[in-house]
Amino acid sequence: MKRTVRSSEAKRSAPSGTKSRGALPPARRAGGSSGGKAARTLPQRTCVACRTTRPKRELVRVVRSPLGELSVDLRGKAPGRGAYLDPDAGCLERGLAEGALSRALEIPIDEGAAAKLRTELAAAAKERRTNA
């Protein structure tokens, strides 16, 4: 019976100077000639109101705490269910009017909570502009 060559055997038995099929080019091998680490990709998030995708740090997170309270989370680490918005009043108003923010946070938003979010978002937008 004739023995067949498996694809993995061809890679193992190829001499080190020849290029075998499926091997990475020299620049892509570990410790290659690229000279350093690859650029780290930034996490992307989508605004629930206008549906634009931006880097996470450009958006503001609105969080519903486990107790049901709504607040703006600048650090992005507060416990609870979160939704991302652009830091301008237009996106907040659109999210409230169309119900997108309410759906994302899975809670009805009354006028008192909406007013609180407006003031917190305005303060967050101001802080982002001064830090940037």
For 61, the token pair is: 């997170």
User: Is the per-residue pLDDT at 70 higher than 80?
Assistant: yes
Q: Which domain holds residue 94?
A: 44-131
Is position 105 within any domain? Answer: yes
Asked if 62 and 83 touch (Cβ cutoff 8 Å), the reply is yes
Is position 125 within any domain? Answer: yes
Is position 29 within any domain? Answer: no
Is position 5 within any domain? Answer: no
Asked if 100 and 84 touch (Cβ cutoff 8 Å), the reply is no
Is position 15 within any domain? Answer: no
For 40, the token pair is: 């780290």
Is position 3 within any domain? Answer: no
- What is the tens place of the pLDDT at every residue in 81-91? 999 999 989 99
Q: What is the pLDDT of residue 26?
A: 54
CATH number, domain of 106, equals 3.30.1230.10
**Cα(88)–Cα(20) distance, rounded to whole angstroms?**
55
Is position 23 within any domain? Answer: no
Tokens 């705490």 sit at which residue? 65
**Cα(96)–Cα(114) distance, rounded to whole angstroms?**
8
- What is the tens place of the pLDDT at every residue in 89-120? 999 999 999 999 999 999 999 999 999 999 99
In DSSP terms, which residues pair with 72 in a beta bridge? Answer: 62
Q: Side-chain half-sphere of 33: how many Cα atoms within 13 Å?
A: 4
Tokens 């634009």 sit at which residue? 52
- What is the tens place of the pLDDT at every residue in 13-62? 555 555 555 555 555 555 555 556 788 999 999 999 999 999 999 999 99
Its pTM surpasses 0.95: no
Is position 13 within any domain? Answer: no
Beta strands in 1-132 (DSSP E): 44-46, 53-55, 60-64, 70-73, 81-85
Domain count, the chain: 1
Count of CB atoms within 10 A of residue 78's CB?
Answer: 14
